[in-house]
Structure 1
């Protein structure tokens, strides 16, 4: 077996943690990733920890139809990086990413191409592939993002995967802080302009430079139905900040978690509104109270960073997240 390392990176996992660290949200439009310095820094960290050369960095992400986007091409041109793409399903979920990673991990072990694999992921589904690679003689190390208050010491890693790996190391905080940059700050003027479209169609948009957008009858019908639904289900949809929230009598720790979920929902709404367009607002309102998959996925990922995966799976937490997102928009519309 070649005495060298190989690095396997789940891009969705790494970018979510890095972006949340600098921008407070996993919404990719809220931060810039400096891919070359990030990859180079991870390779240098692994070499410093092992003293070994690295075979290759495998970078796993998803895209529409599994096709290379411009940013995937940029990553693929970084020396020593192999980009492997899964697909994004109709509802915005990644498909095939874990399978590609698992096959490559076992393949490198079977071909005896590397003696140590560094895995940047937290997905429990990879545990079996890790065990098979170990049975073939490879050592597998989890490389995560430090989270001192976590029992494992790292963020968003499944316990089963952590127990399966040989040991856990962390990416230096300095590397993460330099490789991710927050680019969005809430702009009141921008937010006011983007929400003008939510006003009555009888009200002209007089802001200079803004092109009026007249909602279609279909959009108005959706908007009317959504408004009626929201008005009749206010106490269910909205969060515990209301006087008659339905959560009275809950334990103190539950109230704290619900408050955290409210803050997360509002933060995602703020970040989204800072970069959105009028047409995006029209589409969002037309589908109210349903959220686009990207926004809903961001809410759940951000919540998992703060409360953990198990708490995020609770329906009361999910309702609070989504309700807080809409409540933030309602306040400024």
Structure 2
């Protein structure tokens, strides 16, 4: 049996020389291991990825350059714009390598269109598809972005994430990625009056950047000779006021509360001011039907809609 302790009448009882030597050896091995780890980290290049909500890009760029969000009325040079995004990221992160660009779009039954197929064939680009409903509204795109952003951050596959979008539903993904140590940078396209990105999203990210008309104009071209169907032209008019949209939000809240009951209200309140994705989508669809136009690209009006919804619910307490 090894004797780690010695008795010295002049010093009392304490650890023996062999015990101290083993501690010193252990500390030395630990220091060597830490040195190797730090050296490996120092030589591992930083990595970034770009997460682009195509619906936001089309709507915001279309409105900025041509005055409309209707994708049928203009052409977007997606290849050129994606390359411009890659170049911009390269200049901002000079010591980082690109993992890939994730391009999130919607399609009927998640079947690629010819345009989406062309984008998917671009190098360093992965197209991820959500669904399109009967009103040409994207379904499931935000959840795809959240899943990819959180997963890559969790596995330390990226150190920086460029997020091109504006929906408030992305706040939880930003928070989760930051929790895993990734920095999230929000890029947007200049809005024609007001904002097209949720304030809550702007508050959470690590940095912000906005691309102006001069940047976007080379990639957007108006199609000649196209006219929307008469029934669509009839419902598309000037954007409603914030108060009009707020009133519609309260109206939808009254309908929601009448069908779900106060028990559902109690479950919803702890999340204020955020709405679960399903409830938020239901609110948006019902409001757009009542208003007769899409709120896509109108972040300020969508916030007013949520405010009206919450105002009515909280008044019932």
Contact 1:45 1:171 in 2 (8 A): no
Question: Which residue pairs with 1:15 in the alignment?
Answer: 58
Superposed CA deviations along residues 226-272 of structure 1, whole A, max 9, x for unmatched, are: xxxxxxxxxxx9999xxxxxxxxxxxx969x99xxxxxxxxxxxxxx
Q: Name the CA distance, whole Å, in 2 between partners of 1:130 and 1:118.
A: 10
Normalising to structure 2: TM-score of the pair? 0.59
Post-superposition offset of 1:171: 2.6
Q: Note the C-alpha offset of 1:175.
A: 2.9
How far does the alpha carbon of each residue in 1:19-46 deviate from its partner, in whole angstroms, 9 at most, with x for none?
Answer: 1112111011111011110000011111
Contact 1:156–1:309 at 8 Å: present in 2 too?
no
Of 167, 184, 209, the match for 1:169: 209
Cα deviation for residue 67 of structure 1 reads 1.1
Q: How does 1:214-293 map to 2 (within 5 A)?
A: none
- Relative distance call for 1:88 and 1:160 in structure 2 (3 A) is same
Deviations 1:307-329 (A, max 9, x none): 743457899xxxxxxxxxxxxxx
| Of 162, 165, 184, the match for 1:118 | 162
| Contact map agreement 2:64 2:213 (CA 8 A) in 1 | no
Larger Rg: 2
Instruction: Please state how far the C-alpha of 1:173 moved relative to its aligned partner.
Output: 3.5
1:301 aligned to 2:296?
A: yes
Deviations 1:107-127, CA, capped at 9 Å, x for gaps: 111121111000001111111
Residues 70 and 163 (structure 1), Cα distance of their counterparts in 2 relative to 1, 3 Å cut:
same
Matched residues, number: 216
The answer as to whether partners of 2:64 and 2:190 remain within 8 angstroms in 1 is no
**1:297–1:113 distance in 2 versus 1, CA, 3 Å:** farther
In 2, the alpha carbon distance for the partners of 1:239 and 1:169 equals 30
Q: Deviations over 1:38-57 (max 9, x none)?
A: 00001111111221331100
Q: How does 1:1-333 map to 2 (within 5 A)?
A: 3-51=46-94, 52-147=96-191, 150=194, 155-184=195-224, 296-298=292-294, 300-301=295-296, 304=298, 308-310=301-303
Distance of aligned partners of 1:254 and 1:94 in 2 relative to their CA distance in 1, 3 Å threshold? closer
1:118 match: secondary structure: strand
Structure with bigger RCO (C-alpha 8 Å, 6+ apart) = 1
Instruction: Please report how far the alpha carbon of residue 172 of structure 1 lies from its aligned counterpart in structure 2 after TM superposition.
Output: 4.9
Structure 1: 5+ residue stretches without partners? 199-236, 241-252, 259-291, 316-333
Contact 1:5/1:115 (8 A) holds in 2: yes
